[in-house]
Amino acid sequence: MSGRKKILKGDSDFKNIVANQGYFVDKTLLIKEFHENGDKVLLIPRPRRFGKTLNLSMIEHFFDINKKESAGLFTEFKISAEKGFCQSHQNKYPVINLSLKSVRASDWDACLLHIKDVISRVYKEHKYLLKSDKLEGFEKQFIEKIILEKGVQKDYEFSLLNLSEYLSTHFGNEAILLVDEYDTPIINGYKEEYYDEVIKFMQVFMGSAFKGNPFLHKGLITGIMRIARESIFSEMNNIGVYTITSLYFADKFGFTEQETKDALKYFGLEGHFPEVQKWYNGYKFGNTGQIYNPWSIVNYISRYEEGFKAYWINTGTDSLIKSRIVEPDLNRTYDTLQRLIAGQTIEKRIVDSFVFADFDTKKELLWTLLAFSGYLTQTENVKDDVYLLKIPNFEIKKVFKDIVIDWWEMEHRVARLLLEETAGHLVNNRLEAFEKGFKQIMGDTFSYFDAGGEPEKTYQAYVLGLLAVIGDDYLIRSNRESGEGRYDIMLMPHDKSRHGVVIEIKRIEGRKKKETEEAFAKRINATLTEAAHQIEHKKYYQELLAQQIEKIIQLPIVFAGKEPFVFPVE
């Protein structure tokens, strides 16, 4: 093939991309790695839009006995060098390729209708079986019933098993079975409260097709999670699970750094690499780091004139994650989220087998969901299943910031404009205006929650949340060593000509009964002085000076009960 290749954005059909001169990042060695793997059935969970659907299409076109014309599509790719493997396996098997990524519904009856439609479409692709002289009449009747969507639920539960049998009988060879985004209806069932029904269906639908199926040559399942409840997979001793922490298949989903550089160079954008790296790099699968978000890279290349944007949205789990993040559990969730936005790592357990039934009671499962969904990535395996996690890149940081800002607006009725103006007053050294806006924000906010537990951490989390709106221009850090101690919050500007900010937060009791205004003011002023002295004495600004930032705002904040003070009270 010759000619200038182009980006065919949103197309996940391997044949369409290659045949129409689309730019294709060569992942073809996945074909051999998948087939020669010792597990008969493989489950490979990865975040959405990391190339799973395209990889399955590629595998389908390589193995499918009905697609012999696709053999020429592979000639310029790495798999073509594996001549013995290609001769033995290319276009030798019947293939079933089924995707459940569009199966979302508000109740189980509607969900089942969607599933019936998906299965009907797959059967239509093999309608030639209705003319097969190797199938019995009743088998053809079953095929016709599925195509016309006239079957009962049980018929669809065993439809994958039956279709693999019909194909194997017709072609005289076992079938390869590919199921993409198997967990979409399960996640949606959890959100819409028909989880039990969808799980029962999937246990038979998947279990009958992948466990003990004599007509199955090889199986590959993709999704986000390994769903474990009662489980779809627990009784399958022939399945190998290769999650985001596995060493295998680590470079087969997402773009490696070299693949990203090659793509940018091909389209004349190699000079854009540093910003591309900042925005879309940062994932680690197994021991393979520097994995880039492929959806974002493709979108950026196709519309680079518009600049860098957050292109990636994890539609399948986005609402579930947002609802869980913004629950009023500040000391455990919100503070941790702010530390992540500030660029820190957190130490969390990643649970390979996800049980949605536990999600309501085991809040730590949120971090597993965030890691599997692509919102966080591992940096280090601390021990067993405990990992250090971080936000992978600027794009995902922006997604988190938007979640935080939405939380301020929806949960606490604080307008984004007020947040932006107040944060702007701070970094531009308009501290009186900052105090006024800050009092308004915190006054509105604290009417919605009680600062129990560890109040200083709660206040710090809220201040960090406010500052999330300026994170594009500042590196926001908290609880890090600088000088001779640990500051509460630091704003380090990317532009060294702007103000850096060091914040020290203190808390005192609110006005006591019978306490005079003068006595109350005296307590506030004494604490402000103490906080200011602490910043200066312990040289919390040392880190800013080391970065050649000369304009530094040293800001003590004292919370008297629920009211913040920045200036001494007269």
Stated length of the chain: 570
Burial class for 290, CB neighbours closer than 10 Å (0-12, 13-18, 19+): middle
Regarding pTM above 0.85, the answer is: no
Calpha distance 350→375 (Å, rounded): 13
Of the candidates 203, 290, 286, which has an alpha carbon nearest to the alpha carbon of residue 241? 286
Q: In what order do the strands lie in the sheet with 563-565?
A: 474-478, 489-493, 500-508, 552-560, 563-565
Buried b (16+ CB within 10 A) or exposed e, 340-352: bbbbbbeebebbb
Cross-strand partners of 324? none
Q: What is the pLDDT of residue 201?
A: 94
How distant is the alpha carbon of residue 430 from its chain centre?
A: 38
Please give the Cα distance from 354 to 385 (Å, whole number).
13
Q: Where do the domains of the chain lie?
A: 35-71+93-241, 257-306, 318-394, 413-565
Give the burial class of 441: count Cβ atoms within 10 A of its Cβ; 0-12 exposed, 13-18 middle, 19 or more buried.
buried
Does residue 300 contact residue 264 with C-beta atoms inside 8 Å? no
Provide the token pair at 449.
């929650």
* Other Cβ atoms within 10 Å of 107 Cβ, number: 12
Concatenated DSSP letters for 338-350? HHHHTT--EEEE-
Contact assessment for residue 246 and residue 286, using Cβ atoms and an 8 Å cutoff = yes
Q: What gap in Å lies between CA 58 and CA 259, rounded to an integer?
A: 18
Which ranges of 37-183 does DSSP label H, i.e. alpha helix? 52-63, 83-89, 108-125, 137-147, 153-157, 159-171
Tokens 């966080």 correspond to: 376
Cα–Cα distance between 365 and 228 in angstroms, integer? 13
Report the C-alpha gap between 49 and 374 in whole angstroms.
10
Contacts of 131 (CB under 8 A, 6+ apart): none
**CB 11 within 8 Å of CB 51:** no
Nearest to 56 by CA among 109, 117, 100: 100
The closest of 288, 279, 328 to 306, measured between CA atoms, is: 279
Structure tokens at 497: 């000509």
- From first to last of its 570 residues, what are the pLDDT tens digits of the chain? 457 899 998 889 999 999 999 999 999 999 999 999 999 999 999 998 999 999 999 999 999 999 999 999 999 999 999 999 999 999 999 999 999 999 989 999 999 999 999 999 999 999 999 999 999 999 999 999 999 999 999 999 999 999 999 999 999 999 999 999 999 999 889 889 999 999 999 999 999 999 989 999 999 999 988 776 556 766 666 789 999 999 999 999 999 999 999 999 999 999 999 999 999 999 999 999 999 999 999 999 999 999 998 888 754 456 667 666 666 554 456 667 767 877 789 999 998 877 777 777 777 888 888 999 899 999 999 998 999 999 999 999 888 877 777 766 766 666 778 888 888 999 999 999 999 988 888 775 554 344 444 555 566 666 766 777 776 678 777 766 565 667 778 888 888 999 999 989 888 888 888 888 899 999 999 999 999 999 998 888 888 999 999 999 999 999 887 788 988 876
Residues 257, 335: Cα–Cα separation, whole Å? 32
C-alpha 560/C-alpha 524 separation (Å) is 7
Nearest in space to 46 (alpha carbons), one of 38, 37, 55: 55
The tokens of 90 are what? Answer: 């290319």
Q: Are 146 and 119 in contact (CB under 8 A)?
A: yes
What's residue 447's pLDDT? 45
The dotted CATH code for 413-565 is 3.40.1350
Alpha carbon distances (Å) from 414 to 40, 422, 465, 477, 545: 54, 11, 12, 23, 34
Residue 559's beta-bridge partner residues?
Answer: 507, 564
Instruction: Give the Cα separation of 488 and 308 in Å (integer).
Output: 31
Q: Under DSSP, is residue 88 helix (H, G, I), strand (E, B) or coil? A: helix
- pLDDT at position 451 is 46
CA dihedral of residues 452, 455, 458, 459 (deg, nearest 10) = 130
What is the residue whose two structure tokens read 């402000």? 528
Q: Residue 145 corresponds to which amino acid?
A: K
